[in-house]
Structure 1
Amino acid sequence: MSLTQQLRVPPAAGLAERVRTAYFDRAKGRWITCLTEEQATSAAYAIFLHSVHGSVAEANRFAREYGTVYRVDTSTGRLRPARLR
């Protein structure tokens, strides 16, 4: 069983393929991939999950680059994506 099948919130359609086709831009010193808004939201959620038990650096950088972050909705106590731009 893959990890994807164990997730309560599955990744956006096509995200895995986009990640596999990412390339490293030596001049910028970062990996480059083109994501749809739905895929960027899905990636933000994955990075949020990592930040819960790891580093928040990735989540902060993703938020700056893509303008999407996951936050707790104080009225419901649930996570939801938020656009920063």
Structure 2
Amino acid sequence: MWDAYLWIFTLNKQNLIRRLPPNLSKDQLEEQLSPLPSYDYFEFFPADQSLYPHLFSRVYINFRNPEDILLFRDRFDGYVFIDNKGTFFT
């Protein structure tokens, strides 16, 4: 089991979730995160296979409302992400 964790940039309202499952697709991630608060930036980066054994995906999300950062953190801190192979990442 791997740890996915949330890193919050409070100055610019941008959240980074890193160490996501390497086989997780953008569509699967959006499904697991929904419903999301209003945002103006959402960029998903799949795992780079050349970085083996450190294969993790990551996503950057910029929320429009600064208060949504804390709600998002409270909701997803310790969340168990599941990739398309059924592997759990917490």
TM value normalised by structure 1:
0.30
Greater RCO between the two (CA within 8 Å, min separation 6)? 2
More strand by share: 2
TM value normalised by structure 2:
0.29
Larger C-alpha radius of gyration, 1 or 2?
A: 1
